């Protein structure tokens, strides 16, 4: 056994899928008691590397050392036994079982004839208390918990397996601001208890707040490992994309025109209370706030996806009341939904079919009959105009990377010639390069005189992109800022109600 200061070392890992090189000579060294951030654009190889660590994939070459000892991980069970735990974005929880049952699901599955439920519950309670969550009842069904609490349960479950290396894959993507703070506390606590944490996230702010070291991957290759304290955001982004941060938010040359939308005292359910705002042609209007502040609900009500209770909507000078998305689209009002997999895309259908869903009865069809040749050409042009990378228009949408999936989801709104488009979290789960491209698309739309509304939970995005920003909190508008007044300080205050 050799002396080492590293808990985990992955050396020169290489992995091919068929003819495609997914990883080339990638290395990762994680110390005990550290939070090690792993970043890179989508497709940079983070997930592949972690799947090799977890035994889900087999590496072609390279070696993995735990505490200096070479280990051979060939399946997820072995990884688990070695103390490597991975928490994916989608939790591996059984929603109909209780918290305690989920935490000790291994023991339930161990084949013992009887289980000491009392002991199981008290052990679960103890584990939860260790993380500072004694308010979670071990007998509650997991399906009834909030996403944040489910994550706590998932972490607990993995800790009971004596995890020495804990990988968190985009853990904050689904959490609200205060929940994120709680998660950070847990992560720091685990670190102090000697767990090595590998933290994957697209949110740079988080990495700077949490991590000790950052390893950057790019296009399946290893770029560098740096001490977090020694680097700033600009440099980090440059390392990731070979591009300066200032170029992240491209300049917009849009002329702000007439008012196209005015909403007065809109009420819709519990999440939308007396919302009033307006939007001008060529303007990019941001909607900031915490998750669950009522932003999506406001837009869904305007779009006709949810019913309105009261209020007035004036759209291009006329009072309107869209009762369904169809009515909204007929009037040129589009909405890119926040969850592309669940609401935006037909994942198992072709890119072509996805792109033309909004124009089936006009642009590409006559009397209900589709002209395939015309459609194909139209789609190619459409996708090229928003620089989408894809193999063939007939490939399924799920064959694309996150960023390109988002562009395909967006394509149908561009096809529909919308005069006003709501982008709901357009860059969630999208890599930095694709983010910039999506910003570009929004800018181009604005330059054409389209009114753009962007809902985003990323403050930097709102600050970088918007002419005006509205902050919502618990269903109400709590602040409106223009140009230089749009900053993190004022917006957080409005969002938190202080």
Interface contacts to another protein, rule CB under 8 A: 18, 303, 305, 324-326, 328-330, 335, 337, 342-349, 353, 357-358, 360-361, 365, 368-370, 372, 396, 412, 416
Identify which of residues 256 and 347 has a Cβ nearer to another protein in the complex.
Answer: 347
Identify which of residues 422 and 446 has a Cβ nearer to another protein in the complex.
Answer: 422
Give the three-state DSSP class for 362: coil
Q: Are 411 and 382 in contact (CB under 8 A)?
A: yes
**The tokens of 342 are what?**
């669940």
Shortest reach from residue 349's CB to another protein, in Å: 5
Q: Give the residue from 5, 170, 211, 167 showing the smallest Cα distance to 79.
A: 167
Query: How far apart are the C-alpha atoms of 91 and 102, rounded to whole Å?
Result: 11
Identify which of residues 269 and 325 has a Cβ nearer to another protein in the complex.
Answer: 325
Which residue matches tokens 């000579």?
25
**The tokens of 463 are what?**
């600050």
Shortest reach from residue 424's CB to another protein, in Å: 10
Shortest reach from residue 270's CB to another protein, in Å: 21
DSSP letters along 280-349, please? ETT-EEEEEE-TTSSHHHHHHHHHTSS---EEEEEETTEEE---SHHHHHHTTEEEE-S-IIIII--TTS
Shortest reach from residue 498's CB to another protein, in Å: 35
**The tokens of 112 are what?**
């013992």
Q: Are 479 and 450 in contact (CB under 8 A)?
A: no
Shortest reach from residue 48's CB to another protein, in Å: 16
Q: Give the residue from 438, 424, 478 showing the smallest Cα distance to 286.
A: 424
Identify which of residues 344 and 403 has a Cβ nearer to another protein in the complex.
Answer: 344
Shortest reach from residue 346's CB to another protein, in Å: 4
Identify which of residues 289 and 344 has a Cβ nearer to another protein in the complex.
Answer: 344
DSSP letters along 415-455, please? HTT-SEEEEESTTTT--HHHHHHHHHHHHHHHHTT-EEEEE
Do strands 468-473 and 272-280 pair parallel, antiparallel, or not at all (unpaired)?
A: unpaired
C-alpha torsion sign, points 197, 200, 206, 208: positive
Shortest reach from residue 284's CB to another protein, in Å: 22
Identify which of residues 282 and 337 has a Cβ nearer to another protein in the complex.
Answer: 337
Identify which of residues 227 and 395 has a Cβ nearer to another protein in the complex.
Answer: 395
Identify which of residues 342 and 381 has a Cβ nearer to another protein in the complex.
Answer: 342
Radius of gyration (Cα) for the chain, nearest Å?
Answer: 24
Shortest reach from residue 394's CB to another protein, in Å: 11
């Amino acid at each position: 056994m050799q002396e080492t200061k590293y808990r985990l070392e992955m050396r020169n890992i290489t992995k091919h899928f068929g003819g495609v090189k997914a990883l080339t000579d990638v290395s990762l060294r994680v110390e005990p008691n550290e939070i090690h951030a792993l970043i890179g654009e989508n497709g940079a190889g983070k997930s592949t590397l972690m799947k090799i660590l977890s035994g889900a994939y087999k590496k072609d070459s390279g070696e993995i050392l735990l505490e200096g000892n070479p280990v051979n991980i060939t399946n997820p069970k072995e990884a688990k036994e070695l103390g490597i735990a991975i928490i994916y974005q989608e939790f591996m929880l059984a929603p109909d079982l209780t918290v305690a049952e989920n935490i000790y699901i291994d023991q339930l599955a161990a084949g013992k004839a009887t289980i000491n439920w009392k002991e199981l519950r008290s052990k679960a309670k103890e584990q939860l208390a260790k993380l500072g969550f004694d308010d979670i009842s071990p007998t509650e069904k997991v399906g009834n918990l909030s996403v944040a609490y489910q994550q706590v349960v998932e972490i607990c479950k993995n800790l009971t397996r004596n995890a020495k290396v804990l990988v968190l894959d985009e853990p904050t993507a689904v959490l609200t601001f205060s929940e994120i703070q709680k998660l950070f506390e847990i992560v720091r606590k685990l670190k102090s208890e000697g767990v090595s944490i590998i933290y994957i996230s697209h949110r740079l702010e988080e990495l700077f707040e949490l991590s000790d070291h950052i390893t950057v991957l790019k296009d399946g290759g290893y770029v560098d490992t740096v001490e977090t304290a020694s680097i700033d955001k600009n440099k980090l982004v440059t390392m990731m994309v070979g591009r300066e941060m200032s170029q992240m938010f491209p300049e917009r040359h849009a002329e702000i025109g007439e008012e196209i939308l005015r909403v007065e005292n809109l009420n819709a359910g519990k999440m939308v209370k007396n919302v009033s705002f307006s939007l001008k042609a060529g303007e990019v209007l941001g909607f900031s706030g915490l998750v669950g502040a009522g932003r999506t609900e406001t837009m869904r009500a305007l779009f006709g996806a949810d019913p309105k209770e009261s209020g007035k909507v004036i759209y291009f000078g006329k009072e309107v009341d869209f009762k369904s998305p169809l009515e909204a689209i007929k009037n040129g009002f589009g909405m890119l939904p926040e969850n592309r997999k669940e609401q935006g895309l037909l994942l198992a259908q072709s890119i072509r079919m996805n792109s033309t869903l909004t124009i089936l009865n006009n642009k590409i069809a006559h009397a209900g009959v589709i002209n395939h040749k015309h459609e194909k050409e139209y789609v190619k042009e459409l996708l090229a105009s928003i620089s989408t990378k894809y193999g063939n228009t007939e490939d399924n949408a799920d064959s694309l990377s996150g960023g390109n999936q988002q562009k395909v989801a967006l394509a149908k709104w561009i096809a529909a010639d919308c005069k006003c488009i709501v982008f709901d979290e357009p860059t969630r789960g999208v890599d930095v390069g694709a983010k910039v491209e999506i910003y570009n698309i929004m800018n181009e739309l604005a330059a054409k005189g389209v009114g753009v509304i962007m809902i985003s939970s990323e403050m930097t995005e709102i600050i970088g992109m918007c002419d005006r920003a509205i902050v919502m909190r618990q269903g109400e508008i709590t602040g409106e800022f223009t140009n230089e007044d749009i900053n993190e300080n004022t917006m957080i205050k409005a969002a938190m109600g202080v």
